[in-house]
Amino acid sequence: MLTITRDLYDRIVAHARKDHPDEACGAIAGPDDGSDRPERFIPMLNEARSPTFYQYSSDGLYALYEEMRVRDEVPVVFYHSHTGTEAYPSRTDISYANEPYTHYVIVSTADTEGLGEFQFRSFRIQEGEVTEEEEVKIVDAY
């Protein structure tokens, strides 16, 4: 189960709405101590600038991993948005998922033009197998 602060949840949703109609993407890093606690919000640029596809720049992704290494962090959450479909991993999303202990969050802005209701779902993806997390717990603080 993903446990996330209200502030981080709101920032992910705001990023998805801001970049709509293009897909938004980013990460939330946390301490490399086994706590599974997302703490540091890192919005990334969708280099593809596409409503149907996202792509981290290789330089940006390398810099993200290097910064996390230096700060003794891990990627607790990778997130992106879907602008025309439900919040469920596509085949491409599954092929990108190479962190077995990371939560993969998808926010769908499909029917709302980024202004109304939305879907916020979290998944674990291990060796191509998708498992939706039954609950996303939103807390005021850890």
- Cβ count within 10 A of residue 134: 7
pLDDT in tens, 34-92: 999 999 999 999 999 999 999 998 899 999 999 999 999 999 999 999 998 889 999 99
CA distance to 7, 66, 111, 123, per residue, from 2 (Å) = 14, 24, 25, 9
Specify the pLDDT at position 111.
67
Segments in the chain forming alpha helices (H): 6-19, 58-70, 91-96
pLDDT in tens, 82-99: 998 889 999 999 999 999
The answer, yes or no, to whether residue 115 has pLDDT greater than 50, is no
The answer, yes or no, to whether residue 110 has pLDDT greater than 90, is no
Considering the domain delimited by 2-139, tell me its CATH architecture.
3-Layer(aba) Sandwich (3.40)
Spans of all domains in the chain: 2-139
Residue type, 16: A
